[in-house]
Amino acid sequence: MKWIDHKTLIELCPPAELNFAECLQFLNRSDQEVLHQISDNYLYKLIKVNDKRILIKIGSTADSIRVEFPLIAPTTNEREEVAAYVWEWFNLNEDLKTFYLMARQDYVLKNIVDNYYGLRMICIPDLFEALTWAIIGQQINLTFAYKLKKRFVEQYGESLSFEGETFWLFPSYEKIAMIDVEDLRKLQFTARKAEYMIGVAKAMTAGELSKEMLLQIQDYEPMKKKLMAIRGIGAWSADYVLMKCLQHPLAFPIADVGLHNALKVQLGLERKPGIEEIEGLAKNWEGWQAYATFYLWRSLYDKAI
DNA sequence: GGCCAGGGCATCT
DNA sequence: AGATGCCATGGC
């Protein structure tokens, strides 16, 4: 991580392949989002560092990302934690040069990759949030999924108000470990999904599951296996978490319907491609499956806008 | 208003 | 192992 501590603000020095505006556009894709807010090209988010709620305001210059603290001045140690958080959130450790080299020559990706140059994988650093959002995302439609997430966060998360806006933290697993399936049923979660979410929360509270534990495994297949051992986490959810939280470049939710729709559009097909067909196309993406998927997902939002 | 949609699991054969 | 039912809202 390359960064400069200016005390009242911090400055991240990201790799060249970053387009902050492109990332903001992605973050702005749902108007139901409660975990961050965007206004005037600034991104606001409440995060928790050492049990302290810190509101951060993120903007950009030509070659850096600047993080300000509208409410309270964090300590030296906290500033470093904030820097690390933002660095991870925007996946700034990844060097995208070889991805672009591959994508520009790829039959599928060449038509879209330049449209989103500098878009980074926008991550979900908190494992509980990533697992929970994967479970919610199994919902039949995305509109309803966002609705459920909003209710969940506003019911069980901590918040903080600033200039008339309310900023939310994702609920902690300790808190969710103590609630009942019935509590989530009231928010219109299905009994199944409520069980999955509370189960994950309990496992994490008991110390049976953690991000560190998963990251230690390193290799893609065993990590995925470990995730799939969790009730409610199937192949799709495991790959989703590997991609968005554990930042594994090989994560590839091949059965994802969004991916299928994006490929259908890119290839000009009458119907969605089959798994074998996708496997064929993806041979060329080896090592960059997660980014290929992410950029294809991104291509779907253009139609909606 | 009827039908279909996304994923995962439970319950069959 | 592979097929089938279940969930339960939103968009067409």
Per-residue pLDDT of chain A (305 residues; tens, 9 = 90+): 999 999 999 999 999 999 999 999 999 999 999 999 999 999 999 999 999 999 999 999 999 999 999 999 999 999 999 999 999 999 999 999 999 999 999 999 999 999 999 999 999 999 999 999 999 999 999 999 999 999 999 999 999 999 999 999 999 999 999 999 999 999 999 999 999 999 999 999 999 999 999 999 999 999 999 999 999 999 999 999 999 999 999 999 999 999 999 999 999 999 999 999 999 999 999 999 999 999 999 999 875 44
Strand C at less than 7 A from CB of A64: no
Position of tokens 């879209």?
A112
Closest residue by Cα to residue A75 from A10, A1, A11: A10
Strand B at less than 7 A from CB of A255: yes
CATH superfamily, with its number, for domain A127-234: Hypothetical protein; domain 2 (1.10.340.30)
Strand B at less than 7 A from CB of A262: no
φ/ψ region of A77 (left if φ > 0, alpha if ψ in -120 to 50, else beta) reads alpha
- Alpha-carbon A124 to chain mean position: 4
Q: Which nucleotide is nearest to A191 (CA to C1')?
A: C7
Position of tokens 């506003």?
A154
Closest residue by Cα to residue A292 from A87, A17, A20, A107: A107
CATH of domain A3-93: 3.30.310.20
* Residue-level pLDDT at A183: 98
Q: How many CB atoms lie within 10 A of CB A289?
A: 21
* Residue-level pLDDT at A94: 98
Q: A111, exposed or middle or buried, with CB in 10 Å at 0-12, 13-18, 19+?
A: middle
Q: A39, exposed or middle or buried, with CB in 10 Å at 0-12, 13-18, 19+?
A: exposed
Strand C at less than 7 A from CB of A192: yes
* Residue-level pLDDT at A5: 98
Please give the positions of A annotated as active site.
256
Strand C at less than 7 A from CB of A304: no
Nearest protein residue to B4's C1' (by CA)?
Answer: A140
Q: Which nucleotide is nearest to A185 (CA to C1')?
A: C8
In chain A, CATH 3.30.310.20 covers 3-93
From the CA of A33 to the C1' of C2: give the distance in Å. Answer: 39
From the CA of A257 to the C1' of C2: give the distance in Å. Answer: 21
3-state secondary structure A21-33: HHHHHHHCCCCCC
Q: Which nucleotide is nearest to A240 (CA to C1')?
A: B7
Q: How many CB atoms lie within 10 A of CB A287?
A: 12
User: Which tokens hold the place of A279?
Assistant: 């496997």
Q: Which residues contact A292 (CB under 8 A, 6 or more apart)?
A: A103, A106, A108, A109, A282, A285
A32, A154 in Cβ contact below 8 A? no
Strand C at less than 7 A from CB of A13: no
Nearest protein residue to C7's C1' (by CA)?
Answer: A190
Q: Which nucleotide is nearest to A236 (CA to C1')?
A: B7
The C-alpha atoms of residue A235 and residue A254 are separated, in whole angstroms, by 9
In chain A, CATH 1.10.340.30 covers 127-234
* Residue-level pLDDT at A56: 98
From the CA of A186 to the C1' of C9: give the distance in Å. Answer: 15
Q: How many CB atoms lie within 10 A of CB A280?
A: 11
Q: What is the largest CA-CA distance in chain A?
A: 57
* Residue-level pLDDT at A304: 45
* Residue-level pLDDT at A305: 40
